[in-house]
Amino acid sequence: MRFGVLSTANIGRKAVIPGIRTAGHEVTAIASRAADRAAGVAADLDIDRSYGSYRELLGDEALDAVYVPLPNAHHDAWTRAAADAGLDVLCEKPLAVDADEARALGDYCDDAGITLMEAFMYRYHPKTERAAAIVADELEDVRGAFATFQFPLRGRPDDIRLDPDLAGGALMDVGCYAVSVLRTLLGEPDRVRARTLDTRDCGVDTHLAGTFEYEGATAQLSCSFDTHAEQRYRVEAENGWLEVDGAFNPGDAGEPQSITYQVDGRQVTETFDPVDQYAEQVRHFVDCVESGRRPRTDADEAVANMAAIDALYESADTGEAVDLATTQ
């Protein structure tokens, strides 16, 4: 499959473009709002064609699909534009700024007959699939869980992740992973609560702590731009527990990954051979395009994740618990 990339964002240059190639596919074009920037990245990464606008790239008739790593607030417009061009779309998370936008975007792409997939790469790592199977099949009567993704965001005060007009914030940037994994492991919560901090006075959350409430269980989640780097989750059940460190973006794809769990008094650490989860994500995307199947992280999944995120923000704004059923 021949991919075009809308933007020269770090995630594309350092992770997804290499992942596309590892998966056996091509990146044949890249675009930026600055032609010289696009040309420079194309030369560095040995990409055939570069464009000084996203619209120009979408007119490239040699492309089969596009990868969209633009700021969150621009996902909707440029995914729609790609669908209009007949191109299948792998779009960075979060797919949209809220659940309503995600739902409308999914419908638009369905009507256009193109495959749309949200790029939650961690869902395609074998350790995530195995962890979900252990929770579902071996842990009995789950009572609690915890998930966090946090790191110290340093650098320019105009970072797009601190811009409310671009749908920035810790929850939208990294907290969405914690939301996703809790939903993947425990299902949809009945009710959520949250508190946020804006320590940069920038108009977005730089720290969030939340709670998911289930019948018979609760789950805690946190995300932050202000604290030390950490990404992990843990599930507690009556007959054991499961814990995963380096949970979402563990760094070096050449390093093995592991999960540790205890079931009925037996503790096990399972280690997984090195794998490029970005390549696995691309393989799934291409398979879905070719087979006509819906991706694991399709628009419906994005709607459900954004509904939980919307409810967390509503709770933080109002200071009250939010019944998730009323937000969908």
Domain that holds residue 140: 122-277+305-327
Q: Residue 187 above 60 pLDDT?
A: yes
> Does a structural domain hold residue 264?
yes
Instruction: Tell me the average pLDDT across 112-119.
Output: 98
> Does a structural domain hold residue 51?
yes
Specify whether 273 is located in the same domain as 126.
yes
CATH number at residue 158: 3.30.360.10
Question: What confidence score (pLDDT) does residue 326 get?
Answer: 56
> Does a structural domain hold residue 288?
no
Specify whether 139 is located in the same domain as 243.
yes
Which of 55, 90, 119 marks a domain boundary? 119
Specify whether 236 is located in the same domain as 195.
yes
Please state the φ and ψ torsions of residue 301, each to the nearest 5 degrees: -65, -40
Q: Residue 160 above 90 pLDDT?
A: yes
pLDDT tens-digit profile of 39-67? 999 999 999 999 999 999 999 999 999 99
CATH number at residue 88: 3.40.50.720
Number of folded domains that form the chain = 2
Specify whether 98 is located in the same domain as 133.
no
